[in-house]
Amino acid sequence: MALELVKSLQDPQLVAQFQRSCGLTLHLKGEANGAASGHSTAYRASTEKTAGGKGVPQENGHIYSNGSYANGTHRQGLNNGNIGLQETYATTSSHQEQVRKYVVHNYLLYYIFKFAAALGQEIFYITFLPFTFWNIDSFIARRLVVVWCIVMYIGQASKDLLKWPRPSSPPVVKLETRVEAEYGMPSTHAIAATAISFTFLLASIGRYQFPLVLGFIAALCLSTLVSLSRLYTGMHTVLDVICGVSIALFFLAATFPVWHFIDHQLLTNSICPVIAVTAGFLLSYNYPKLDHYSTTRADTTVILGVGAGTCVGVWLTNQLGLTYTPAGDFPLTIPPITFNLLLKVILRFILGVFLLVVTRYVAKTLSLKALGSWYKVSMHDQLVKQRLEIEVPYKYVTYTSIGIVATAIVPWLYHMLDL
């Protein structure tokens, strides 16, 4: 009975049904004429280029989704031999473009779920987490980063250990291409959204005055929206999403009693930064072996690098006596949003992000040059950057540097500038 339930939750037809109920359908061959002559639904034309491709002819009235995989090859085995409903177009080079068509009937849901999916991507992490450090409360931010790093490593490593495929297309419409070469179980978007939402809520309870019911509803809505976006984009089965949410909730329940102890060690124990940097690198370098190249190892290295850099940064900040300590009795009143406060927040954020961008460029450039010189290889070759001995060190150094700058250098600069 349990096995039958698991199989039913893995059925890609469930995902396809959800997509259709939200107004997203595959555009099958032979439908173009019918759609052009009698279909009242609005269409949009869009293309995405694969590696080495130089463009795809566009048909007015259709939305296209790229069906290519890493390094310009197709990995058929992960979706039961089906690449999907695609058409191949010749290009001026020897490469070919693969295009899968789909039709959007409800643009409101389309943009809502695309935005929700972006909340589980790198652009959200490199803005929201630093913003929390600089403008909300480093007490909350430290918990967010620690929890996020651990649950994301669990989720990422589980994918390459279990090797469960993503839902096949057809019948599912796939709106994302960057992670299509990755395995599906569990959904790390669901893990991250659930962990971040409820960690923020739990860390705020007893520290700030706010309606607990509204906080719970906000956390529930955010995590649910991001989780459903993984079904809408066709990147996960229902089982993937359920397991992702369950992993995050179980981890929060198991570790919540020791959050205060861990935070105290991060701030005061000089061994913690050493352990964090060493453990993060070893976990990245000994990531489960890939049977084909995907972005999971690189993304996991980025996450662990940020976590290691944060551990070093918050320890340094505490040694400098710059750890944020609110004045007054707990729970604190949330200050009103004034023009001066808003201006200060914007200035802090812009300055901080600028320093992170500079740090990323400098650290990435120097680490790649050093590795290229050490291994005597050209870093202009993308395949070289994907090698284990190149990819892990340069990404780990880059994002560890970003973590240190975000949590130590930037707060020190704010202190010096009285921001």
- Locus of tokens 């500079």: 358
Segment holding 96, helix H or strand E = strand 96-104
Segment holding 34, helix H or strand E = helix 31-38
95 assigned to active site: no
- Catalytic, out of 27, 39, 189, 380: 189
Give the Cα separation of 276 and 118 in Å (integer): 28
- Catalytic, out of 39, 74, 95, 236: 236
74 assigned to active site: no
Give the Cα separation of 8 and 203 in Å (integer): 37
Cβ neighbors of 39 (< 8 A, separation 6 or more) are: none
Using the CB atoms, write b or e for 293-305: b if 16+ within 10 Å: bbbbbbbbbbbbb
Give the Cα separation of 309 and 360 in Å (integer): 13
Give the Cα separation of 131 and 11 in Å (integer): 39
39 CB burial (10 A radius; 0-12, 13-18, 19+): middle
Using the CB atoms, write b or e for 267-283: b if 16+ within 10 Å: beeeebbeebbeebbeb
Residues designated catalytic: 189, 236
